[in-house]
């Protein structure tokens, strides 16, 4: 009882709100009960006084006991938590280092101490304790998420809490090894194709064919064995390879030297064989991977062969090789088959649309006129899609001549008119390009994307229509006009053939793309030129088309006057940031720079009227400008390529190009080419 009236216990009413509230409630209830009891009977009231006094005593005692038990429990829990935290800091498999504001080590846990063996760490600057660790802290102290770093020949998950000057390191070496093993042991599938095997062996006897095949197979087999690949012969000119990702990484570092080995050794035997390889990786489905490998092989062949295309599905392709000028592999049979297939597609269409690339040149326009004439010879309606408001001076002169030919003029329509006329049964023929984004009307392509035929002489790039009906891409051809000219031999004889304007335009296209028959002009090029000449092509009209206005002449000479040299082998002309140049003027300047002695390649960087930066690249064939332009987002041929860049200035593009050309690995390995 004495404890009950202890002053400290009664202070509980003041200090502890929960007890105070309960006590007030009980007292209030007791007083009300007593009042009611005494009103009923004083005897009952006295009895209630006794019961309430005993009950109040017991209740308050229980409240005090509950309070004391709770406090004891919380004290024990706090002690256990603090002890658990201390034990965790000492025993958990996570390294911790705390420092002061001056990067002096204040404390490390035992897990971390084992990495310093018996060294004294606390009280020393971190840089004195371990310079590499201090360097990692300085490098990654702003990072908010843990990073994987290498330290003490181990791999750690690393985090710096700059606010608390604390470093955390968790050893994840085992898990990293598992992850790296998983990545290294992912399977890739590849297909190897001998580009020109059939053509080479046509003039050989059985013994020579057997020797050539045995040599190539033996060389590929040795290469596969050295690089831990499974190689299987599928056909005389086709091989399957399967390997792990680590082998593919090694092959990419070596840049697939097997291409050079086989090409060089077979060239010495007067039977130059080139390889095209398509490799796919990163898929769990082997069937999908095999299909991607085939698509990559098709891409390599479409770019002229003698190269490797490595790509996972829905990712950017990587190209290796492509150092040789593509050899002439097409035959009259292929031209006849393409012509026949095109006639069948035209017969199935209600109407035909043909369009070239934006900013069309004479090859593009000549090809359009040629396709329209072929459609007319087969009694089909064909529309030429052209934006006449944005053409160069040579195309403007051509349009003036076309005005004299009502039948041709009436079949030239704008992109908007073409989209209004097109139906689900229409056929779209893309000439002199295969990238929908550079078409005269990308919207028309989208409308007819399932009804597309492509005729082009540029190397195929990554951007390509998904399901074209017919593809005729021959990178070795001089021009698209050359390819189309060969088709006229297989058209109906009783129909009206090429007129003078069409023949002249197509011959102009060939002459422009071959630099007056000095570059990429083979025997088939001269055959095509001879046919066009016999069809009425006019040399004087060609000169008229190719005239340039005084402004273009002066601008070209101005560009050339600013020439600078890179590595004594490359000429670079750069226009001003605030002045725009015609793309044709820049291309002509690049061509003229090659006439200087000792220049292997030329580059001209200018700003166009639409604020796009244009780069024209040319070479004599000993330097692969196509690979340079592809690295900058463009493409083209080994000796003739270009790119267009948005969102940058002329100066920025110049610096990017110079850095790329000065890159030793690219200059020495990727870009130098050899002639077959």
Cβ-contact 478, 507 below 8 angstroms: no
Is 555 a member of any domain? yes
Return the higher-pLDDT residue of 473 and 84: 473
Is 529 a member of any domain? yes
**pLDDT confidence band for 85 (50 / 70 / 90):** low
Return d(Cα 115, Cα 160) in angstroms, integer.
18
Is 582 a member of any domain? yes
For the whole prediction, is pTM greater than 0.75? Answer: no
205: which residues sit within 8 A by CB, 6+ positions away?
A: none
* CATH number for position 206: 3.30.70.270
Is 198 a member of any domain? yes
Is 675 a member of any domain? no
Residues 60, 135: one domain?
A: no
Return d(Cα 247, Cα 451) in angstroms, integer.
41
What count of Cα atoms within 13 Å lies in the side-chain half-sphere of residue 96?
Answer: 17
**pLDDT confidence band for 5 (50 / 70 / 90):** very low
Return d(Cα 141, Cα 354) in angstroms, integer.
60
CA separation, residue 468 to residues 206, 354, 384, 543, 632 (Å): 39, 14, 19, 37, 27
Residues 439, 584: one domain?
A: no
One DSSP character per residue, 229-278 reads -EEEEEETTEEEEEEEHHHHHHHHHHT-THHHHHHHHHHHTT----EEEE
- Which residues are paired to 125 by β-bridges? 104
- Tens digits of residue pLDDT in 112-151: 878 887 577 888 888 888 888 888 888 888 888 888 888 8
Cβ-contact 200, 263 below 8 angstroms: no
Residue where one domain finishes, among candidates 45, 70, 89: 89
Cβ-contact 569, 619 below 8 angstroms: no
CB atoms within 10 A of CB 154: 14
pLDDT over 60 (residue 400): yes
Residues 500, 372: one domain?
A: yes
Residues 423, 509: one domain?
A: yes
Cβ-contact 93, 175 below 8 angstroms: no
Residues 125, 262: one domain?
A: no
Residue where one domain finishes, among candidates 89, 113, 131: 89
Residues 533, 569: one domain?
A: no
- Residue of 600, 626, 620 whose CA lies nearest to 675: 620
| DSSP conformation class of 162 | T
Indicate the Cα dihedral angle 39, 45, 51, 55, nearest 10°: 40
pLDDT over 70 (residue 196): yes
Specify the residue for token string 């796009």.
Answer: 612
* CATH number for position 554: 3.10.310.30
- Residue of 457, 501, 455, 492 whose CA lies nearest to 477: 457
- Tens digits of residue pLDDT in 605-645: 999 888 889 999 998 877 888 888 888 888 777 778 889 89
Strands 154-161 and 230-235: unpaired
Structure confidence at residue 671 (pLDDT): 42
- Tens digits of residue pLDDT in 371-391: 999 999 999 999 999 988 878
Return d(Cα 359, Cα 438) in angstroms, integer.
9
Return the higher-pLDDT residue of 37 and 667: 37
Helix and strand element counts for the chain (H, E): 28, 23
Mean pLDDT of the chain: 84
Structure confidence at residue 548 (pLDDT): 73
Given 3-state DSSP classes, what are the helix, strand and coil percentages for the chain, each rounded to the nearest 5? 50, 20, 30
Mean pLDDT of all residues in 74-87: 69
Residue 193: its H or E element: strand 187-194
Q: How many domains does the chain have?
A: 5
Is 1 a member of any domain? no
Most confident of 55-64, 401-410, 667-676: 401-410
Radius of gyration of the chain (CA): 41
Residues 313, 341: one domain?
A: no
Lowest-confidence segment of 45-59, 229-243, 275-289, 563-577 by average pLDDT: 45-59
Strands 230-235 and 238-244: antiparallel
Residues 170, 196: one domain?
A: no
Return d(Cα 178, Cα 181) in angstroms, integer.
5
Is 2 a member of any domain? no
Is 326 a member of any domain? no
One DSSP character per residue, 435-470 reads -GGGBS-HHHHHHTTTSEEEEE-SPP-S---SS-SE
Structure confidence at residue 23 (pLDDT): 67
Return d(Cα 42, Cα 51) in angstroms, integer.
14
Residues 60, 28: one domain?
A: yes
- Tens digits of residue pLDDT in 494-535: 778 899 999 999 999 999 988 888 877 888 899 999 999 999
Return d(Cα 603, Cα 659) in angstroms, integer.
13
Structure tokens at 599: 């220049």
- Residue of 572, 570, 571, 575 whose CA lies nearest to 558: 575
- Tens digits of residue pLDDT in 311-350: 887 777 888 887 665 555 555 667 888 888 899 899 989 9
Angle (CA) 329 334 338, round 5° = 135
- Domain residues for the domain of 243 are 185-321
CA separation, residue 350 to residues 19, 345, 614 (Å): 94, 10, 39
Sheet containing strand 470-473, edge to edge, reads: 412-413, 382-385, 352-355, 427-431, 452-456, 470-473
Indicate the Cα dihedral angle 538, 539, 541, 545, nearest 10°: 130
pLDDT over 70 (residue 670): no
CA separation, residue 669 to residues 74, 257, 314, 627, 665 (Å): 73, 10, 28, 11, 6
Specify the residue for token string 């470093």.
Answer: 167
Residue where one domain finishes, among candidates 89, 105, 138: 89
Specify the residue for token string 């908010």.
Answer: 144
- Residue of 318, 314, 253 whose CA lies nearest to 279: 318
Q: Is 108 helix (H, G, I), strand (E, B) or coil?
A: strand
Cβ-contact 188, 280 below 8 angstroms: yes
* CATH number for position 124: 3.30.450.20
Structure confidence at residue 93 (pLDDT): 73
Return d(Cα 386, Cα 418) in angstroms, integer.
9
Residues 260, 367: one domain?
A: no
Return d(Cα 495, Cα 374) in angstroms, integer.
10
Residues 469, 493: one domain?
A: yes
Structure confidence at residue 669 (pLDDT): 45
Residues 500, 518: one domain?
A: yes
């Amino acid at each position: 009882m004495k404890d009950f009236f202890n002053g400290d216990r009664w202070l509980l009413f003041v200090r502890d709100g929960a007890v105070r509230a309960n006590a007030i409630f009980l007292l209030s209830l007791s007083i009300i009960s007593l009042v009611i009891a005494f009103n009923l009977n004083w005897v009952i009231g006295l009895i209630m006084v006794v019961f309430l006094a005993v009950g109040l005593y017991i209740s308050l005692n229980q409240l005090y006991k509950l309070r004391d038990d709770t406090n004891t429990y919380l004290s024990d829990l706090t002690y256990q938590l603090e002890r658990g935290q201390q034990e965790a800091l000492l025993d958990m498999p996570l390294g911790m280092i705390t420092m002061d504001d001056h990067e002096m080590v204040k404390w490390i846990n035992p897990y971390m101490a084992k990495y310093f063996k018996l060294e004294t760490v606390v009280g020393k600057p971190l840089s004195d304790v371990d310079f590499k660790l201090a360097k990692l802290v300085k490098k990654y102290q702003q990072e908010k998420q843990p990073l994987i770093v290498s330290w003490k020949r181990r791999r750690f998950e690393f985090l710096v809490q700059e606010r608390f000057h604390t470093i955390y390191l968790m050893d994840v070496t085992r898990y990293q090894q598992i992850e790296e093993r998983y990545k290294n042991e992912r399977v890739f599938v590849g297909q190897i194709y001998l580009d020109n095997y059939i053509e080479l062996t046509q003039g050989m006897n059985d013994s020579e064919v057997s020797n050539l095949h045995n040599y190539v197979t033996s060389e590929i087999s040795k290469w596969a064995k050295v690089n831990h690949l499974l190689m299987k012969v599928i056909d005389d000119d086709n091989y399957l390879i399967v390997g792990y990702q680590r082998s593919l990484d090694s092959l990419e570092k070596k840049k697939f030297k097997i291409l050079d080995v086989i090409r060089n050794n077979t060239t010495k035997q007067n039977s130059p064989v080139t390889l095209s390889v398509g490799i796919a990786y990163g898929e769990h489905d082997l069937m999908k991977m095999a299909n991607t490998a085939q698509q990559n092989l098709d891409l390599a062949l479409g770019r002229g062969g003698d190269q490797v295309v490595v790509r996972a599905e829905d990712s950017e392709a990587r190209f290796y090789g492509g150092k040789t000028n593509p050899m002439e592999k097409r035959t009259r049979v292929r031209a006849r088959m393409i012509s026949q297939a095109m006639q069948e597609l035209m017969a199935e269409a209600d109407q035909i649309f043909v369009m070239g690339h934006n900013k069309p040149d004479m090859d593009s326009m000549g090809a359009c006129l040629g396709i329209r004439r072929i459609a007319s010879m087969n009694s089909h309606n064909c529309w030429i899609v052209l934006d006449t408001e944005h053409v160069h001076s040579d195309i403007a002169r051509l349009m003036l001549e076309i005005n004299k030919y009502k039948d041709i003029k009436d079949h030239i329509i704008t992109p908007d008119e073409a989209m209004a006329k097109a139906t689900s049964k229409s056929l779209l023929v893309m000439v002199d390009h295969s990238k929908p984004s550079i078409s005269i009307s990308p919207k028309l392509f989208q409308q007819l994307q399932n009804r597309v035929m492509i005729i082009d002489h540029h190397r195929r790039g990554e951007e390509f229509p998904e399901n074209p009906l017919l593809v005729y891409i021959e990178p070795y051809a001089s021009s698209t006009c050359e390819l189309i000219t060969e088709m006229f031999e297989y058209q109906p004889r009783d129909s009206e053939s090429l007129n003078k304007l069409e023949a002249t335009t197509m011959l102009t296209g060939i002459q422009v793309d071959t630099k007056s028959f000095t570059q990429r002009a083979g025997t088939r090029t001269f055959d095509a030129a001879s046919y066009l000449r016999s069809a009425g092509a006019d040399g004087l009209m060609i000169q008229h088309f190719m005239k340039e206005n005084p402004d273009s002449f002066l601008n070209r000479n101005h560009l050339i006057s600013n020439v600078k040299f890179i590595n004594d082998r490359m000429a670079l002309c750069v226009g001003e940031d605030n002045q725009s140049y015609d793309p044709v003027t820049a291309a002509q300047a690049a061509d003229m720079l090659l006439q200087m002695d000792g220049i292997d390649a030329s580059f001209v960087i200018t700003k166009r009227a639409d604020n796009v930066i244009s780069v024209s690249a040319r070479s004599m064939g000993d330097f692969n400008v196509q690979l340079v332009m592809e690295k900058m987002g463009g493409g083209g041929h080994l000796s003739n390529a270009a790119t267009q860049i948005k969102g940058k200035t002329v100066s920025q593009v110049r610096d990017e190009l110079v850095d790329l050309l000065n890159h030793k690995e690219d200059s020495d390995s990727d870009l130098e080419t050899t002639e077959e």
